[in-house]
């Protein structure tokens, strides 16, 4: 499964030199994942009311080329592994076909109190197990 999320870099995303602040790449890929989940028909507010939330368990990030204010970026997300309790994604931030940032992200489901949960059934039905 692959998802594409487009975004534009604004002043608020950058440091004083007009380069995207490193932590904002994590926000960009989080926004892409949240948008993807919503487009799959999963309402995270409904899940939260049922006591289930998503959490990043592990992330490996690589900063390759800086993005700058005004850039149009694309976050490409691809599922690379799933189990009943987690999904692992590769997320790539690109500008005009140039890879700027890559991350491998493991997402798990937890209860509102932080205990481990299985991924919601509606997500397990969609993701390749």
In 3-state terms, the chain is what percent helix, strand and coil (to 5)? 25, 45, 30
Q: Detail the DSSP E strand segments found in 1-129.
A: 2-8, 52-63, 72-82, 86-95, 98-111, 116-117
Q: How many CB atoms lie within 10 A of CB 6?
A: 10
Hey, which residues are catalytic here? 15
């Amino acid at each position: 499964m692959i998802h594409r999320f487009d975004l534009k870099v604004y002043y608020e995303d950058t440091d004083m030199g007009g380069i995207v602040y490193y932590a904002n790449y994590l926000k960009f890929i989080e926004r892409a994942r949240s948008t993807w989940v919503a487009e799959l028909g999963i309402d995270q507010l409904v899940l939260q009311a049922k006591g289930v939330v998503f959490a990043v368990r592990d992330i490996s990030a690589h900063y390759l080329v800086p993005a700058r204010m005004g850039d149009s970026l694309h976050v490409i997300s691809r599922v690379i592994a799933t189990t009943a309790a987690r999904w692992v994604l590769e997320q790539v931030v690109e500008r005009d076909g140039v890879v700027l940032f890559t991350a491998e992200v493991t997402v798990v489901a937890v209860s509102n109190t932080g205990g481990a949960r299985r991924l919601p059934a509606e997500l397990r039905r969609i993701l390749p197990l």
